[in-house]
Amino acid sequence: MDATLTRATTLQGSLRLPADKAICHRAALLSAISDGTTRIIPWSTAEDCRRTVEVLRELGVPMVETREGLEVAGVGLHGLRAPTEPLDCGESGTTIRLSCGLLAGQPFTGRLTAAASLCQRPMRRVVEPLSQMGATIEGASRASSSEVYPPLTVQGRRPLHGISYAPPVASAQVKSAVLLAGLYADGPTTVSEPAPTRDHTERLLQALGVQLVREGSRLTVHPPRRALAAVPQLAVPGDPSSAAFFIVAAASLPGSRLVIRDVGLNPTRTAFVEVLRRMGAAIDVEAHDQAWEPRGTLTVESAQLHGTTVTAKEVPLLIDEVPILVVAACVAEGQTRFEGVGELRVKETDRLHSMVTGLKAMGAGLVASPDGSLVVQGGRPLHHATVESFGDHRTAMSLAVAGLLAEGQTRVRGVECVAKSLGNFFELLASVVGSSIVKVG
């Protein structure tokens, strides 16, 4: 399926985005091992989150999707059952890595399978700490590498050993997997982050009454001494990573004004807003609720953007938004430098390659270096082209936004992949730029 984008003159309107998928994954996993029923409202429509639901159902957790959200009948910390079938994680890296952490503490074996793209993603980063805790995890290997790839067979152990672990790469997925495993350990488990990452798992653990202590970059979870009492209702804000595509479009198109309501404002998810503000974007943030997950309204108006430097230290908190920030850099005046973005090479696809390939075809000036940096020379007019999504949802949506800023009609091929995170992306986009601008088919 392809999308055709015609240059837009402006962007106007108001949006409410689907539920934050990063939170939904974690809410489902932790509600599953609590005692009692939890209503997660709303529930994400993302394919990735559907994979997490199916994995938990195979582990014996009753779940019902309703018009309002997802109802989870928790089976308790020790109530999961051995799966009778492989656990299919599809293309969801969050599902497979967090499931590893959960399975590590079970008295049975589970096999986590994955789609072809996910089978290319490195798993040693999560296998290593869980193995130190006592789980036995086997995966696919390659003759030329010591890396581990899906499918993964996890033989759990109970209790696991509490460990102190310093991940070599900042990763919210690895941190979350270790913290989940730590619930089944014989003592405290500590993760020392090399850089801050999103903290949704920590917030949920604390909402469930788990003892969690943060000291600087050190985060320690203590295994619970009693059952986890379910939170009756978890209200999930809109996904800020999805909002980023619309924010960049509104900031870049002259005369635009966009209001995004009830969106997540967790400070570990809004670093991209600060980068865009640094580039000159006019973004107003109004917080409405500082409960377990902050939320509020973002109002964006168009402005002349200018180049900046995104440092390697900033990247862990905005890794998902780098592709769309690259589009912003293309239309900004001057040069923008992205440092330490080599992690983009091991996402659903090599996102550095897919973004550079697509945007160069549209006339942009970009150079990716072997050291994981990317330099964008902004201010060059973009023109129409036929570009590939490479099967990556963030590449597809980013290039679609670029198409709104380019002369002529741009065709993005293979856009069905947006269902992974935001299936109604093109409908939402058409609602604020006009149905004649966005065509899918």
Question: Domain tally for the chain?
Answer: 2
> Quick check: 101 and 176 in contact, CB under 8 A?
yes
User: Measured on CA atoms in the order 176, 180, 181, 182, is the torsion positive or negative?
Assistant: positive
Domain match, 246 and 320 both: yes
Domain match, 382 and 421 both: yes
**In sequence order, what are the residues at sequence separation of 6 or more whose Cβ sits closer than 8 angstroms to the Cβ of residue 359?**
326, 327, 330, 366, 382, 399, 402
C-alpha span between 130 and 241 (Å, rounded): 29
**In sequence order, what are the residues at sequence separation of 6 or more whose Cβ sits closer than 8 angstroms to the Cβ of residue 158?**
105, 106, 107, 184
| Domain-ending residue, one of 202, 235, 268 | 235
Domain match, 434 and 354 both: yes
Residue range(s) defining the domain that contains residue 435: 2-19+237-440
Domain match, 216 and 272 both: no
> 297: domain CATH number?
3.65.10.10
The residue written with tokens 């109002």 in the block is 299
DSSP per-residue codes, 80-104: ----SS-EE-TT-HHHHHHHHHHHH
C-alpha span between 93 and 320 (Å, rounded): 13
* Half-sphere exposure for 206 (CA within 13 Å, toward CB): 13
Domain match, 13 and 48 both: no
DSSP SS3 for 329: helix
Taking CA 308 as the corner, what is the angle to CA 306 and CA 314, rounded to the nearest 5 degrees?
Answer: 140
240: closest CA among 323, 173, 174, 296?
296
C-alpha span between 129 and 176 (Å, rounded): 12
| Burial readout 278-306 (b: 16 or more C-beta within 10 A, e: otherwise) | ebbbbbeeeeeeeeebbbbbbbbebbebb
Domain match, 263 and 383 both: yes
Burial class (CB within 10 angstroms; exposed 0-12, middle 13-18, buried 19+) of 241: buried
| Domain-ending residue, one of 235, 261, 285 | 235
Domain match, 330 and 420 both: yes
Domain match, 8 and 37 both: no
| Domain-ending residue, one of 183, 201, 235 | 235
> Quick check: 142 and 167 in contact, CB under 8 A?
no
The pTM for the full model equals 0.95
Burial class (CB within 10 angstroms; exposed 0-12, middle 13-18, buried 19+) of 202: buried
User: Measured on CA atoms in the order 301, 307, 313, 318, is the torsion positive or negative?
Assistant: positive
Domain match, 12 and 52 both: no
C-alpha span between 204 and 176 (Å, rounded): 11
DSSP per-residue codes, 278-306: HTT-EEEEEEEE-SSS-EEEEEEE----B
In a structure prediction context, what are the per-residue pLDDT tens digits for the chain, which is 441 residues long?
999 999 999 999 999 999 999 999 999 999 999 999 999 999 998 999 999 999 999 999 999 999 999 999 999 999 999 999 999 999 999 999 999 999 999 999 999 999 999 999 999 999 999 999 999 999 998 877 789 999 999 999 999 999 999 999 999 999 999 999 999 999 999 999 999 999 999 999 999 999 999 999 999 999 999 999 999 999 999 999 999 999 999 999 999 999 999 999 999 999 999 999 999 999 999 998 777 899 999 999 999 999 999 999 999 999 999 999 999 999 999 999 999 999 898 887 899 999 999 999 999 999 999 888 999 999 999 999 999 999 999 999 999 999 999 999 999 999 999 999 999 999 999 999 999 999 998
C-alpha span between 13 and 247 (Å, rounded): 12
Domain match, 187 and 271 both: no
Burial class (CB within 10 angstroms; exposed 0-12, middle 13-18, buried 19+) of 416: middle
Domain match, 13 and 91 both: no
Domain match, 389 and 270 both: yes
Write out the catalytic residue numbers: 320
